[in-house]
Structure 1
C-alpha cells in the first residue's frame, strides 16, 4: 500500500452522516429490478486521477504526489499502489487506463511493451486481490510529439506502423486483464489546414487502421467491444471523429457499424454543439451506443475542462436515454474528470468522485422514475399517434410512390393544422423528478 490515502476511511452509504459518505449512491439499492451499482458501472480514469499533475497552459504542476513524475518503473509501481488503494476506498467496480498512464515510455517499442506487460502483471495481482475490474484500456496516440500530425492519419507511414504496434500491445494487455471494452480515441486524428492535407487519403488510412484493429480483436479472441470516442475541434481544428453522427457515417463507409460502438463523453458532446442526451439518443437510434465518460465543461470556457458532474437534471436526462435504450451491456460510467489544480489534498480526489457518484445516483433514480411513470413516453406516443393509422403506415412501405401519396392527399382533402409540441409543459414535467 502507498499510504497516500492512509487517513481516509472507505466510503459508505450514510445519508445522515456528518463526515465523508455517500448521500445518494447505495450500490445495493434496487432500481428497475437491478442493483444500482450494476446500472451505473462506475469506473475511475487512471490518467486524470493519478497522471495529471495540475498544470494548465499558464503554469506547471501544482499537485505534490509521491509518485510524480512517474518516469521510472519504481514510481509507476508506487502510482499503481496508490491507485488501487483509492479504488478500494471508493468501492468502484471498474477502472480505465491508457498505456502511457501506467508505465513510462521506453526507448524502443519492445521496451515500452515489456514495461506495459510488467505493469499488467501487477494489475492482475491487485485485481485478483479484490481490486476492480477493467472497464476498458486504450493507447495514448496523442501526447508524444511523433503524433503531432495524427496516428492512423499521419502522413508518415512509420508513425502509422508505430501506432499499430502500440495498439496491438495495449489490446493484448486489455484482453489479458479481462477488459470489457477497448477504446480508440483519435485525439489528433484531424487536420489544421487543407493546404498540406490529403483528406481522402487520411480518411482511407483511418478506416484501414480500424478494420485491422477489429480483425486483430477476433484473431486473439477478445470478446469485449471496440469503441470510438467522438471528439470535436480540440486540439485539432477539423477532427475526423467530430460527433456520433460523423463516426456512424465513417463506420458505415467502411462496413464496421456492426463491429464498433461509441464511448460518448459529455464534455465532447458540448464542444460539438450538442447535449449529452442527444448524443446518447442518437447512438441508441443508430445501434452503436456503448459506454459513457461522465464529466462536464465550464460553460464559460471554450475548451474541454473535464470537471466532475454536479448537475442532476443534466445527468438524469442522460441516464434516461441510457435506460430507455436498455442500459449498459459492456459499457459503464467512467469519470473522465479531474479535480481543479487548486484541489491539492488526497481527500479532494476522493470527495470529487464521491460527490459525482451521488449526482449520478440521483440522476439514475430520477430517470428510472420518469420511465416507470411513462408520462414522457406517453406524450411522445401521442405526438406521433397519427403514424399508427393504416394509410400513414402505407406511405412508408416499399413500392409506395410520391404520386400515389400526392393523389391520396388530394382524395382525402387534407388540410393539416399545426399542433403544439408542448415543450415547456414537458420541461416542467421533467423538473418534478429532479
Structure 2
C-alpha cells in the first residue's frame, strides 16, 4: 500500500450528493446555512478532485421535487457530463421519503392511503432515475416510518404496509429489468420518536417475510447502530453471515447521541479499526460509502478536507489490519487462546444420537478449565500499541 494512503478506484470510496453538498444547516439554524448551494455537477467535480470512486443520490438531491421536465433534463445532462469528465460512477440511488410535508406521518407506513400510494409512485420514479445512471443498489431508509405515540398506529399495520410496498417495488424491479438489489437501512429514532425496524438485526428478520427475500439485503450505518448502543461490527458480521451485506454507510458517532454523521474514524478508533479489518478480511467487494458531513465550521475547502479524511482514515485502518494479521506476537497469542479442538473434536459438528450420548457421559474438570487465564488483556494492549504506532 502507498505510504501516503491515497484513494484508488479499487477502494470503491463513494459519497452521497447530500454529504458533500450539505450546507451546514441544522435544526437550530435551518435558515442560516454556512455553505452556499452547489449543483450536482459541481459536487461530482469536487469528489473527482479528492479522488472518490463514485457518487450516490436521493432522487431529489439530483432533481428538485418540483423541477419542470426541461429543468430535469438539463440537470441530468450536466450531471452525466460531469460523471464522464471525472470518471465517477453511480453505484447506489435512493428515494427521499422523509423531507416533504406529505411524509409527516411516514411514507409506506402512513395511515393515509394516498400518502402510501404516492410514496410507492415516488420510489418507482426514483428507481427509474437511478437506473438511468447505472445504479445497481437501491437503498430504503424509512426515516418517517414510525410513531411518537403508539396510540396513533398499530405496529403490525406498519409492518404490513412496509412489506406490501417492498413486495410491489420488487415486482416493479423485475418488470423493468433493472436488476437492483434493495438495501434496507435501520435507525432507532430521529426524525420519528421511534422508527419501525430500528436495527440491522430487525431488518434481517423482516426481510425473510418478503416475497423476494433474495433481492433484499441491508445497508448498515455506523452511526445508527451506535445510536442504539450496539456494536456496529457485530451487526455487519451478522449481515455478512446472512449473505445480506449489500451496501454499507460509514461515518462516526458518539453512543446515545443524536445522529451526528461525523467523519469516519473521528471518534471511535477501535470500533472503526475492527470494522475495516472485518470488511477486508472477508473480502467485501461493495462500495465503502461515507454517509457523513463536514463540520458546520467549514467552507468547501473544509468539505474537501473532510472527504479526504474519511478515505485516508479507512486506508490507515486497512494498513493497521494488515499489520495485525502479520504481527508474529499477536498471531502467536491468538493461536494460544484459540486452541485446536483436540479431544473435543468428536463432539463437534452435526447431531447424532451416539455423539449426544458420548457428550452427556463425558466428565469435564470445570475448575481446571476455568482456572486458565486467557491473556485477553495482553492481546488488547498489543492492539492498542499497534494502533498508537509504537509497534
CA drift of 1:112 comes to 6.9
Pick one of 197, 203, 212 that aligns with 2:168.
212
TM-score normalised by structure 2 residue count: 0.87
Q: Which runs of 5+ in 1 are unaligned?
A: 1-12, 16-22, 28-36, 68-77
How far apart are the structure 1 equivalents of 2:142 and 2:326?
38
Partner of residue 337 from structure 1, selected from 278, 292, 305: 292
Q: Alignment partner for residue 358 of structure 2, among 408, 421, 424? A: 408
RMSD, aligned α-carbons: 2.8
Measured against aligned partners, the alpha-carbon deviations of 1:272-307 in whole angstroms (never above 9, x if no partner) come to: 2112212211211222112221111245x6201111
After TM superposition, give the deviation of residue 254 of structure 1 in Å.
2.3
Judged with a 3 Å threshold, the aligned counterparts in structure 2 of structure 1 residues 202 and 112 are, in CA distance, closer, same or farther, namely farther
Aligned equivalent of 1:57: 27
1:96 maps to: 56
Unaligned runs of 5+ in 2: none
- Is contact 2:23-2:36 (8 Å) kept? no
Distance 2:101 2:119 in 1: 13
Aligned 1:58-97 pairs, distance under 5 A: 58-67=28-37, 79-97=39-57
Distance in 1 of aligned mates of 2:323 and 2:316: 11
Give the C-alpha shift of residue 66 in structure 1: 4.8
Residue 24 of structure 1 corresponds to: 5
Q: Is the 8 Å Cα contact of residues 59 and 129 (structure 2) preserved in structure 1?
A: no
Match of 2:187 in 1: 231
Deviation at 1:123, TM superposition (A): 2.0
Question: Is 2:45–2:82's contact at 8 Å kept on the other side of the alignment?
Answer: no
Q: Which residue of 2 aligns with 1:168?
A: 124
Flag the 1:141–1:193 CA change in 2: closer, same or farther, 3 A: same
State the alpha-carbon separation in 2 of the partners of residues 298 and 423 from structure 1: 25
How many angstroms does 1:369 deviate by? 3.2
SS in 2 for 1:134: coil
The alignment partner of 1:152 has SS state of coil
Aligned length: 381
**Residues 421, 216 of structure 1: CA spacing in aligned structure 2 closer, same or farther, 3 A cutoff?**
farther
CA apart distance, 1:134: 0.5
Describe how 1:31-180 pairs up with structure 2 within 5 A.
37-38=9-10, 40-50=11-21, 52-67=22-37, 79-106=39-66, 116=72, 118-180=74-136
CA distance in 2, matches of 1:389, 1:114: 71
Displacement, 1:308? 0.7
How far 1:256 sits from its partner (Å)? 4.2
Distance 1:349 1:388, change over 3 A: farther
Can you list the C-alpha shifts for 1:213-265, whole angstroms capped at 9, x where unaligned?
22222222223421111111222233223111100110112254422121121
Paired position in structure 2 for 1:426: 379
Contact kept in structure 2, 1:308 and 1:356, CA below 8 Å: yes
CA separation of 1:86 and 1:228: change in aligned 2, threshold 3 A: same
The 1-side partners of 2:68 and 2:168 are apart by: 21
